[in-house]
Amino acid sequence: METEIDLRLVVKVPENDPPFHAIVHAVVNGLRAVPPRLLREYAAARQERILEAILGPRYHPLPAHKQAEAPWACPRCASRRGFRRKGRRQRERTLRTKAGEVRLPLAQVRCEGCRRVFAPLLQVWHLKPYERVTEDLAYLFVRLALEFPFERSTGLLDELIGVSASPATAWRHLQQAGQTLDLSPDRCAYPLLQIDGTRVCAGEPERGIPFLVALSPRERDTSGPRPRNHLDLAGIVVNEGADVLLQPLADRPVGTALTDGDPDLLGAIHRQLPGAVASRCRWHVDHQLEYCLTLDHMPRGDRAIWHQRLRSILYDDQAPTRSSRLRLDRLSRDLEESGCPRAAAHLRGAKEAVFAFKDPTLQPCLPAPVPATTTSLVERSMREANRRTDVGVRWSVPGVTHLLTLFYARRYHHPGWSALWSCPDRDAIELRLENSS
Ligand SMILES: [Zn+2]
């Protein structure tokens, strides 16, 4: 069905023609007044038509028994038939939308059954009793607040589309969306999980609180100009242990679980994902060697040669697994003899898992879609998340939890994110501009 709204546009330009960009600016700013008027006109016209179709013409109402079933129900007795017009609400409903403030004139009806008076169009249009910000604007609040600090995000909104709001409003909408988000694991199997953790400045502890993320890479997409890694979000927890992260995945097949070797993570993988092959990131094995050599008091200048030897073993992908492990054993012994027991123990501890990706005796239940050798993908995502959270303030635990879960859900297209904003009817609405001349 169509509703036609006529508006006349008048553009007045001074005699000495201003530069074109000035006209663009004036037209765009001037047109901002149009959508709120258009929406109001539409609402008023549509409301009248719906009421007339159900209740009959304004001064010749249909008796209750002749009325068709209404597209609303009485909020008290749930009746769908038998209503009378009951004037207008004194106060119009003001809605903040991404097109600016829209004022809706609301007609009221009375239920003949229970005498309840209400505004039926609020129901027809799915407007909740206390809704003052429409979902399209709430989406922009959340979307920008995931990229920028709250104050900057609302500043940008004002600059870009002329909608002003306080940072507290953006914060509130982000918290609401975070509470509603459903982050259940969305895939039925995970051939490869990259799991990593870091800390974020929140809560009481001076060093902040931990957060853990599990990402699942899919096949590398080489169709574009640059190869891309598509990742799925398998889970995220803030201020919780690794068991809480992995427990929801316990009932589905996980092929390989790749970590930096953190003992808490390894323990949780063992407990929650007993069928998975635990694999260790080789970049980290080298990186952690530096720390062990420091503990072993090896002079800084002497360390490079050990790193070189280690890398030549770790990155020799052609070497059979057995020989790689033997070479790592030898390196470990040499470190022991050079007075570095911690470094030696570190390499012994990593020996099995760091070559798990090429070990022919370990058969993961699902083959990894990309080489399971480093956790670089999940780490990059954590640097991005830190860029948003590291803004010189201490977050509240629920505040940062909502921010991070929304951040990850959006970034990795988790269905929980799109479910927050899904509106199947939206695409069915068509808007056409017609020249009147
Ligand atoms: Zn009723």
Q: What is the DSSP string of 335-370?
A: HHHTT-HHHHHHHHHHHHHHTGGG-TT---SS--SS
Whether 415 is covered by a domain: the verdict is no
Q: What is the DSSP string of 268-304?
A: HHHHH-TTSEEEE-HHHHHHHHHHHHHHTT--GGGHH
Centre of ligand 1 from the C-alpha of residue 56, in Å? 19
Centre of ligand 1 from the C-alpha of residue 117, in Å? 8
Exposed, middle or buried, 125 (CB in 10 Å: 0-12/13-18/19+)? middle
Cβ-based neighbour number of residue 301 at 10 Å: 7
Of 391, 406, 431, the residue that ends a domain is 391
Give me the number of domains the chain comprises.
Answer: 3
**Whether 342 contacts 296, CB under 8 Å:** yes
- Look at residue 303 in the predicted model and tell me its pLDDT: 94
Find the domain containing 152 and state its range: 135-180
Whether 437 is covered by a domain: the verdict is no
**Whether 97 contacts 137, CB under 8 Å:** yes
Considering the domain architecture, whether residues 321 and 228 belong to the same structural domain is answered as: yes
**Whether 421 contacts 255, CB under 8 Å:** no
Considering the domain architecture, whether residues 387 and 272 belong to the same structural domain is answered as: yes
Centre of ligand 1 from the C-alpha of residue 53, in Å? 19
Centre of ligand 1 from the C-alpha of residue 111, in Å? 5
Considering the domain architecture, whether residues 305 and 377 belong to the same structural domain is answered as: yes
Cβ-based neighbour number of residue 202 at 10 Å: 23
Pick from 60, 59, 114: nearest CA to 83: 114
Of 124, 150, 170, the residue that ends a domain is 124
The helix/strand/coil state of 263 is: helix
Exposed, middle or buried, 141 (CB in 10 Å: 0-12/13-18/19+)? buried
Measured between alpha carbons, how far is 406 from 185 in angstroms, rounded to an integer?
14
Centre of ligand 1 from the C-alpha of residue 80, in Å? 8
3-class SS shares of the chain: helix, strand, coil, % to 5? 45, 15, 40
Centre of ligand 1 from the C-alpha of residue 119, in Å? 12
Per residue of the chain (437 residues), give pLDDT as tens. 777 777 788 888 888 989 999 999 988 888 888 999 999 999 999 999 999 999 999 889 899 889 999 999 999 999 999 999 999 999 999 999 999 999 999 999 999 999 999 999 999 999 988 889 999 999 999 999 999 999 999 999 999 988 999 999 999 999 999 999 999 988 889 999 999 999 999 999 999 999 999 999 988 778 888 878 789 999 999 999 999 999 999 998 999 999 999 999 999 999 999 999 999 999 999 999 999 999 999 999 999 999 999 999 999 999 999 999 999 999 999 999 999 999 999 999 999 999 999 888 888 888 888 888 888 889 999 999 999 999 888 999 999 999 999 999 999 999 999 999 987 777 888 888 777 65
Whether 82 is covered by a domain: the verdict is yes
**Whether 292 contacts 228, CB under 8 Å:** no
Considering the domain architecture, whether residues 110 and 205 belong to the same structural domain is answered as: no
Whether 253 is covered by a domain: the verdict is yes
Centre of ligand 1 from the C-alpha of residue 82, in Å? 9
Considering the domain architecture, whether residues 157 and 237 belong to the same structural domain is answered as: no
Both tokens of 69, joined, read 């079933």
Centre of ligand 1 from the C-alpha of residue 105, in Å? 22
Pick from 347, 336, 261: nearest CA to 296: 336
Whether 67 is covered by a domain: the verdict is yes
Whether 16 is covered by a domain: the verdict is no
Centre of ligand 1 from the C-alpha of residue 6, in Å? 37
- Look at residue 351 in the predicted model and tell me its pLDDT: 93
- Torsion angle (degrees, nearest 10) of CA 128, 132, 135, 137: 180
Measured between alpha carbons, how far is 284 from 267 in angstroms, rounded to an integer?
18
Measured between alpha carbons, how far is 268 from 82 in angstroms, rounded to an integer?
61
Whether 65 is covered by a domain: the verdict is yes
Centre of ligand 1 from the C-alpha of residue 51, in Å? 17
- Look at residue 3 in the predicted model and tell me its pLDDT: 75
Considering the domain architecture, whether residues 278 and 372 belong to the same structural domain is answered as: yes
Centre of ligand 1 from the C-alpha of residue 110, in Å? 8
Whether 433 is covered by a domain: the verdict is no
Centre of ligand 1 from the C-alpha of residue 86, in Å? 14
- Look at residue 429 in the predicted model and tell me its pLDDT: 85
**Whether 302 contacts 289, CB under 8 Å:** no
Considering the domain architecture, whether residues 307 and 214 belong to the same structural domain is answered as: yes
